[in-house]
């Protein structure tokens, strides 16, 4: 993610928003734009350096299974819990958040869990805000489980493409409010 954030800063310095999304996710960009304009911008009043997504609040560091992919040594991160961070498959960052992440990245010890590192550990050090929007960044459940609407626009922006990208993208775009 560090390289992606550097690329973003170098080649898209005027971009006010950046959607980080994994390759097994799909996004509806028209809904993303709608929610940025109608809701997310209003939440920047207290802090322009903000990350939007699905927050993990009390995520414990794996301490006893050294062969487990989520294991992090206490030498690398001493805390019992990670600071709140955004779920890795998709989250939205402001330009100010990316700038602060890049500025503070060299001041923390890197760990291999990029979402906990960049949107949790570094974000905490940099005083970056989190705005939780579970219903808009659906990363685990069936997309129909948390379907809802506001202002006749479906809440869902991103979802996991567990049936194939093309099929899931079509389904995501066909969701309509009644």
CA distance 105 to 124: 11
pTM score of the predicted model: 0.91
Mean pLDDT by groups of 10 residues along the chain of 178 residues: 96 96 90 93 94 92 85 92 92 98 97 96 98 80 68 82 84 83
DSSP string, 59-73: -BPB-S-TTSTTB--
- pLDDT exceeding 70 applies to what percent of the chain? 95
Q: What is the pLDDT of residue 145?
A: 61
Nearest to 133 by CA among 84, 63, 86, 70: 86
Q: What is the domain partition of the chain in residue ranges? A: 2-174
């Amino acid at each position: 993610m560090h390289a992606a954030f550097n690329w973003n800063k170098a080649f898209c310095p005027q971009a006010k928003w950046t959607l980080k999304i994994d390759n097994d996710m799909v996004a509806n960009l028209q809904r993303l734009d709608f929610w940025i304009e109608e809701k997310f911008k209003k939440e920047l009043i207290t802090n322009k350096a903000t990350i939007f997504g699905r927050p993990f609040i009390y995520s414990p560091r794996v301490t006893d299974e050294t062969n487990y992919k989520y294991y992090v040594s206490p030498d690398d991160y001493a805390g019992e819990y990670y600071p709140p961070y955004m779920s890795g498959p998709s989250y939205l960052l402001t330009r100010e958040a990316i700038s602060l992440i890049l500025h503070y990245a060299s001041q923390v010890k890197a760990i291999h869990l990029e979402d906990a590192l960049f949107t949790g550990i570094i974000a905490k050090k940099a005083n970056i805000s989190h705005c939780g929007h579970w219903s808009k960044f659906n990363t685990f459940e069936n997309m129909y489980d948390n379907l809802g609407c506001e202002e006749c626009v479906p809440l869902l922006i991103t979802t996991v493409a567990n049936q194939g990208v093309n099929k899931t993208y079509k389904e995501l775009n066909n969701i309509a409010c009644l």
